[in-house]
Chains A and B, each alone.
Chain A
Amino acid sequence: MTSIRDVHNVWRDSLVPASFRGVVFHVEASSRAGGRRTVVHEYPKRNAPYSEDMGRHAIRWNFTGYLILGDRGIGANLVAQINQLNLALDAVAAGMLIHPLLGTMMVMCERWSYSDQRQRGGYVEYDMQFVEAGAPVLQAMVDAGAMLSQNASAAETASATAINTGTASLQNVPLPQPRPATAPA
């Protein structure tokens, strides 16, 4: 029997399994929210406002995903899949999210919810909200004192090597005899 996967087009062929921290799930729907952070200044007695640009909003992703019993694609049993995805969503710090169409991004999971229904036995649904991880503004400080000490030692070593190389012509030569004493005038 022909499967839907056998019908090829650019969109279907570019799909990859969605995952978070390496735990795969199916995606029913996904949406992305972005935009500019603005402060709108509205002045008394004036028609034109001024919208001040305060930078980009953090990108947020909403995923409606699911896991299903007897899934031949993901493997393992459903309860194990649920546990793995729950642990991945609750884990500390940012993780890699793979969107089925748009590729990878580093995100934090802000909120997620799990739901199942009696009428849909063996089908569990997840609502997941991710926000882009970004990077801290303040990076870890370098220990400038330790670095200065290293730099000083490196300069000493480089100069000692330079002297050794530069005076190589004086190495392994017979020691000069003392000059004969000159008679006082």
Chain B
Amino acid sequence: MTTRDTIEEISAIVGRTTNLLIADIGIAGQQGADLRFAVGDLNANIAVYLADGTFANRLLQCFRLATAAGITILQLDAVLEQLTTEQPISLEASIVVENSITFALAQDGKIIGATTYTSRDDVDAAMKHMKGWFDIARDLVADTMDGPTYQALITLMAGITRYLTDVGRPLPRMVAFQMTAIMPALAISNLIYQDGSRDEEIAAENKIVHPAFCPISIRALSA
């Protein structure tokens, strides 16, 4: 494989990855503009940046700007899905793919660190979700025999697990309540929490059509 082929392969992978990074970022806003500029610049000059050794930091900057611009975990899932289905041929392209996965997971970690969780079920779901990605990434990075990256990935996974465990511990659980009759959300809120102001929370959680008529079986936070 020639140098040109390798650069073109990396360029195609980076193009697909960065396009997903900007796919759902809003048009307005300085951070979105910074992201689009960085992505466009990287894709236009990738050969130059690979040659001068600044490619890795520029690619990392795209991921960081995407986080700053408000990319979500679901949007990063699309990036991770694309990266994990790539089948690079050259060694250099493989390294770019595997480490881009780590970049994406690091952004996931930052997003999780900045998220306010309201129930332990949300925390459990986030933990399960991240475990799935880390299991895939761990296998991929382990194959590269790159010790420091593998260690950093495992430490990141441990950090996310530790953080979510700490955050989830004091949070209330989502539990099922069986009412005796069809009641308004206000009455249910008062019944469960001795506080009538949480009716909207109950209505939203149970996707209630009319808050005056809640179904008998509902789900609500335990506290």
Complex contact A148–B159 (CB within 8 A): yes
Complex contact B113–A163 (CB within 8 A): no
Q: Note all chain B residues with C-beta closer than 8 A to A147.
A: 159, 162-163
Supposing A160-B99, A163-B99, A170-B7 touch, asked if A155 and B52 sit within 8 A by C-beta, the answer is no
8 Å CB contact of B96 from A148, A166, A179: A166
Complex contact B6–A163 (CB within 8 A): no
Classify chain A's interface size: 20 to 34
Complex contact A175–B95 (CB within 8 A): no
Classify chain B's interface size: 35 or more
| Chain A interface, DSSP helix/strand/loop, else mixed | helix
Complex contact A167–B149 (CB within 8 A): no
Complex contact B57–A160 (CB within 8 A): yes
In the complex, chain A residues 118-169 whose Cβ is within 8 Å of any chain B Cβ: 141-142, 144-145, 147-164, 166-169
Complex contact A155–B106 (CB within 8 A): yes
Complex contact B149–A162 (CB within 8 A): yes
CB distance from B15 to the nearest CB of A (A): 16
* A176, CB-defined interface residue at 8 Å: yes
Complex contact A155–B92 (CB within 8 A): no
Complex contact B163–A148 (CB within 8 A): yes
Q: Note all chain B residues with C-beta closer than 8 A to A172.
A: 51
Supposing A159-B149, A161-B148 touch, asked if A152 and B50 sit within 8 A by C-beta, the answer is no
8 Å CB contact of B56 from A141, A160, A175, A176: A160
Q: Note all chain A residues with C-beta closer than 8 A to B107.
A: 152
Complex contact B156–A154 (CB within 8 A): yes
Supposing A144-B162, A152-B106, A155-B153 touch, asked if A171 and B50 sit within 8 A by C-beta, the answer is yes
Q: List 9 A-B contacts (CB under 8 A).
A: A149-B109, A151-B156, A152-B159, A153-B106, A161-B56, A166-B95, A167-B10, A170-B10, A173-B3
Enumerate the 3 nearest inter-chain pairs by beta-carbon distance, A residue then B residue, closest first: A166-B95, A151-B159, A158-B152
